[in-house]
Structure 1
């Protein structure tokens, strides 16, 4: 057997993969360092937060406010604890396979990774209830106006899939992270160009806050805050 063609194509494939990873990483680094400036702040009516677990960014909002009562759509009863005393709701959009089938990186399946990278999989929104929020290196407070919050509400709302009656669609699963979280069907497709952090970054843009020009990672977002 002539191994030269096989070795040649294997080398080309490996170099292509390495080249793509380097180009992707460099592009992500450069574009995430370019800041999209926030709007001039007219008032500080609503306090929201951005929160990261080191990989994934959530948008945290008050459960009840003049503008929206999220408990009417994201029901307490869909959590294990069913605790209605929570004051804040964290929401993150992402690949459904990662959320439900990958509790640790060791559990990551090649099929899940391939679908997530290529935009072939479905998405979900992970919601977490909090009684209190503590600002620290991984959780930053942002004050916005009522008008800006309405725009953020509209952005998040369109990210949830809805049934014929307009209700958010809860995902029944045992893959919960705690007693105070739940999953919902989401709109859109996850890919290397539109990740969970891209969604959060766009959420900040939607309400006129500082954001990255583009980012697939959480690092760029938190450098702005």
Structure 2
């Protein structure tokens, strides 16, 4: 086992246990946000329109049909990940070994956006949080920076449809690779907004554990 590989494994093991922003506390009556997981991947759920900050994700949708269709939805889930892995998962398919191996080296990325009719229910895979207006502004800015946008600040659809009628893929910034996974994106996004997260975690569970301890 090489020294570089050993150092990498130690980074993953210790980073998942070490909290960052450990002084983070929830804000009573703050903006509601959620950290959610399907067991392997994490998303950040945000209000589709947030009145105190004036932040709305609707104007960034690329056409009026989508804006009208989802205008009454209260929340949207945002996740970042490998373009190849996302697209190979259509039809609930499990991506093959080739797709997984290609994700080890830098490759293009997508933002996965799911529109939600109601707030996620707290549970083993859902951590609700209340954060300050300033923290929400910082969090929304981090999420927005992950999208590729045109001159009108419209996000660029990758495909006409996602896995279901209420989710879509948009072209994203950054490259996915072994040291920068979908869960690392969640960690980095929450950390830069001042929320409690693990130092480093390619896995979903430590992200939820640290978020839950902030409660």
Work out whether the TM-score is over 0.5.
yes
CA distance in 2, matches of 1:89, 1:24: 34
The question of whether the paired residues in 2 share the 8 Å contact of 1:51 and 1:57 is answered with yes
Partner in structure 2 of residue 146 of structure 1: 133
Specify which structure has the higher proportion of helix.
1
Q: 1:29 and 2:13 equivalent? A: yes
- The count of residues paired between Structure 1 and Structure 2 equals 204
Unmatched tracts of structure 1, length 5 or more: 1-14
Partner in structure 2 of residue 48 of structure 1: 33
Unmatched tracts of structure 2, length 5 or more: none
TM-score (norm 1): 0.81
Q: CA deviation at 1:40?
A: 5.1
CA distance in 1, matches of 2:202, 2:9: 9
CA distance in 2, matches of 1:102, 1:24: 28
Q: 1:210 and 2:196 equivalent? A: yes
Larger Rg over CA atoms: 1
Deviations 1:131-173 (A, max 9, x none): 1121111011011000110101111111000113321111124
The question of whether the paired residues in 1 share the 8 Å contact of 2:26 and 2:129 is answered with no
TM-score (norm 2): 0.85
Partner in structure 1 of residue 206 of structure 2: 220
CA distance in 2, matches of 1:200, 1:25: 20
Partner in structure 1 of residue 183 of structure 2: 197
State the superposition RMSD in angstroms.
Answer: 2.5
| Residue 107 of structure 1, aligned match among 70, 88, 95 | 95
The ranges of structure 1 where at least 4 consecutive aligned residues each deviate by more than 6 angstroms after the TM superposition are none
